[in-house]
Amino acid sequence: QVQLVESGGGLVQPGGSLRLSCAASGRIISINDTNWYRQAPGKQRELVAGITNSGSTNYADSVKGRFTIYRDNAKNTVYLKMNSLKPEDTAVYYCNCNVNVRLIPPSTRPYWGQGTQVTVSS
């Protein structure tokens, strides 16, 4: 019914940039609130950034001023632009997206992406 695919992770040097994408496809009416989380080995999952269906955003203190979350509703995609990356940003990043699914009746359901690895190292 719905697929949620993350992409854009990789290996980058400190100070570099990456853009993560979270794209929903399938029986989509629209996407609502979406959050990016990350989890490093031995660490708890933490909320990195979020964006509501109205465009309001919030960020973890550790990434404020460096990361930007934004959305392209026409593509049912949410992005996380990461600048000035630091080694402590290394983690698996997951998107969690609330999707308005074209069912009878339509329903809003949460979906998780598969995760994408971000490694920041010299």
Mean pLDDT by 10 residues, the chain (122 residues): 94 98 93 96 96 94 98 94 98 96 90 96 94
Closest CA to 42 of 116, 6, 94, 92: 92
Determine phi and psi for 74, rounding to 5 degrees. Answer: -65, -30
Q: Is 50 helix (H, G, I), strand (E, B) or coil?
A: strand
Q: What is the pLDDT of residue 112?
A: 95
Bridge-based pairing of strands 28-39 and 91-101 is antiparallel
pLDDT for the residue numbered 95? 97
Residue 1 is predicted with a pLDDT of 84
